[in-house]
Structure 1
Amino acid sequence: MPKSVDSQELSGAQQYLPPRLDLTSLQRAASGCRGCTLYQDATSTVFGRGDTGAPLMLVGEQPGDQEDQAGQPFVGPAGRLLQRALAEAEVDAKMTYQTNAVKHFRFKRVGKRRIHEKPGRTEVVACRPWLIAEIEVVRPHVVLCLGATAAQSLLGSTFRVTAHRGEVLPLPGALHLQLQPEPVLMATVHPSALLRDRSEHRQENYQSFVEDLRRAFAAGGRMFQGAHHG
């Protein structure tokens, strides 16, 4: 069982949360967030996409270059792979809420290009109140973390996707979410890792990702049935 997130880390963007929690208010408030320095160079605040009540929430690391330009999550190469994998898993994208642990693009400039840089722990912790608020508003049955950054945002910095991939995990009590039924967490790889995969097992690894999506969506369905027949 992974170590739970430290409750003393829960801070950062909390002061920017609106008094009323709904997706429209959250997105508007997030556009003015100054909880870390990433807003200074980013083009836009990239908030989540989807509807309240989506049974499956997908959480990535951060927006990439194309997402930053478009102001929408998962529209770049990794996002296109994710949408294809969802279709192969027979998961309707309209049944998902897609977001990131960090809402601004962290990058370094190389000539005219903006090269992705992994967000630091400071940025992840600073941005976490937005993600927690999204979970509270959307009320998903399953939160599927795509990659280590997303998983560690909710499960603590010692969490390893390789050790717990595919496991159904409870929400850490330190997050203080008051939801019934309470969502569960699962973790898998980020689709960008599949794009970088040049091994002979590339297709097999992709199919494992598709199966993770299918399994997470099925777990959400079981939770829904249990909540209505318990």
Structure 2
Amino acid sequence: MLHCIEIENHFAAWRAAALVALAQGLAPESIEWRIKEGAGHDSLSGQTALDYGETSGNAALMSDAPTVHISKELSALLHDAALYREPDRWAFLYKVLWRWQCGDRAAASPADVDGARLYRMAKAVRRAKHDMIAYVRFRKQKPDAQTPEYIAWYEPEHDVLAWAAEHFAQRMGRSSWMIATPHGAAFWNGEQLHIEARRALRHEHRCDTEDEAEALWLAYYRSTFNPARLNEAALEQHMPVRFWKGLPEGHLIPAMISEAKSGARRVAQASGVAVLGGKSIAVEAEFAQPARDQPSSLDACRRCDLWRNATQAVGSSGPRDARIMLIGEQPGDQEDLSGEPFIGPAGQLLDLAIGRAGLSREQLYLTNAVKHFKWEPRGKRRLHKTAAQREVEACSYWLEQELQTVRPSVIVALGATALNALLREKASLRDYIGKPFELEGGWGIATYHPSFALRQQDDAASDRVLSAIGEALAEARKLAASVQGEPRGVP
């Protein structure tokens, strides 16, 4: 029997209806989710990040609703994915909640089909939030009783208007403003925020009055443009073309690019720069580094060029007296932004393997062989690129310091790069997997990097990789116990 559930198009209404459906034991395939007449697919009501309330219409049934305990991570994913502009989002979110309530925790794993989709939706919404904060431009006009002091037009990819409006309301003081979008508008009168859902606007809401601050900004933007350093790919990656039409400086960019291509980039440059002949000389990586003082801190490290394109150096985490050390390859995109190791999708899979081995993060020392994120642009994304041997050698200075400080009983190398960094020589990961080897003062174990599980074609293959990592960690626990007794905190 197919059940039709009609809700307003926002998270609070879906949450209340979903709890009622769970109480009645309705499976996802037996529910047809519909948006109430007049609410519209793009209704913005109740979309603020702080709105977790229940709809009053279901209050009578809520007393019979089951108690649903979900993790903070899943809660954050559901709230963000609820803003993803997709017709079947409510049906999909209920499917994830249903699986979780039935005990299927894989629904929140990036290695699961539904989990991967949930992460993808949440990531797209978070990116849309960042873009809206970055690319909304207000234009000042003469205010009156009906017209705000500042007006902006923006076209968000997802339903993040209400979230962004809260951000601007906290930062614009008592100045009145309006942000108009194709799917609604946000109004701030200096005291109260109002979100108005409407049908799609046919024309952009433009402000034609002169703005002295904008003229000053355009003059400044022109003066800072350096045609000799123009990189179109990097420009379009950090400021996508689709945002240009909403930016005051947007109409200047094509002309400045054209001028640079027409010869402006040659101004003030010597004609012989970077054209001298020569040939490459083969040299061992350890001898390729120039003589220099050793850096006093990781943030000041310039031993290789990876720091130039990284947000920051990513250090380690965990107790300094840990008996088990885990070494990965290098930080990823999320680690580069946060400065913490193993917090991205691969880190979440590593947490699953750690749990299967009867360990916890608090007992382990986590680090990487390379401390800066090496990447290459692919559209709007930064894709991981394997570190070169010379970069691994450059970072061995920091890894040696960590080994001498922590002095772990067991070291687990996650992947081939980590194994090579630990052994200080080229080695095949396949030859070492499942074969603990002796190190000075302890043992070494080699296994797959968790990102290898993410690259598998199906769930079964991914779970086999995850099981292998868990078994390696369980072996590390046994070896640590045999060397110095049971690791701290292990029951």
TM-score by length of 2: 0.39
| Whole-angstrom distance in 1 between the partners of 2:372 and 2:461 | 33
Q: Structure 1: which 5+ residue stretches go unaligned? A: 1-7, 19-28, 172-178
1:47 pairs with 306, 315, 323, which one? 315
The residue that corresponds to 1:195 in the other structure is 454
2:382 pairs with 110, 114, 138, which one? 114
| Whole-angstrom distance in 1 between the partners of 2:378 and 2:399 | 30
| Whole-angstrom distance in 2 between the partners of 1:92 and 1:35 | 33
Q: CA deviation at 1:11?
A: 8.9
The residue that corresponds to 1:86 in the other structure is 354
Confirm or deny: 8 A CA contact 1:47 1:72 kept in the other structure: yes
Residues 54-99 of structure 1: per-residue CA shift (max 9 Å, x gap): 1110000000000000000000000010011101211121110000
Letter in 1 for 2:340: Q
Q: Structure 2: which 5+ residue stretches go unaligned? A: 1-284, 487-491
| Whole-angstrom distance in 1 between the partners of 2:455 and 2:334 | 17
Determine whether 1:216 maps to 2:484.
no
Q: 1:99 to 1:11 in 2, by over 3 A?
A: farther
Confirm or deny: 8 A CA contact 2:376 2:385 kept in the other structure: yes
Between the aligned residues of both structures, percent identity stands at 38
Confirm or deny: 8 A CA contact 1:106 1:117 kept in the other structure: yes
| Whole-angstrom distance in 2 between the partners of 1:210 and 1:93 | 13
Equivalent residue runs for 1:94-133 within 5 Å: 94-133=362-401
Of structures 1 and 2, the one scoring higher in RCO (CA 8 A, sep 6+) is 1
Q: 1:15 to 1:60 in 2, by over 3 A?
A: farther
2:294 pairs with 16, 38, 43, which one? 16
Confirm or deny: 8 A CA contact 2:331 2:342 kept in the other structure: yes
Confirm or deny: 8 A CA contact 1:17 1:130 kept in the other structure: no
RMSD of the TM alignment (CA)?
2.3
Q: CA deviation at 1:198?
A: 1.8
Equivalent residue runs for 1:145-156 within 5 Å: 145-156=413-424
| Whole-angstrom distance in 2 between the partners of 1:15 and 1:48 | 23
Residues 72-131 of structure 1: per-residue CA shift (max 9 Å, x gap): 000000001001110121112111000000000000112221111000001000001101
Q: 1:52 to 1:11 in 2, by over 3 A?
A: farther
Once structures 1 and 2 are overlaid, which stretch shifts more, 211-220 or 72-81? Answer: 211-220
The residue that corresponds to 1:30 in the other structure is 298
TM-score by length of 1: 0.81
The residue that corresponds to 2:220 in the other structure is none
Q: CA deviation at 1:14?
A: 8.9
Q: CA deviation at 1:17?
A: 5.2
The residue that corresponds to 2:443 in the other structure is 184
Confirm or deny: 8 A CA contact 2:349 2:466 kept in the other structure: no
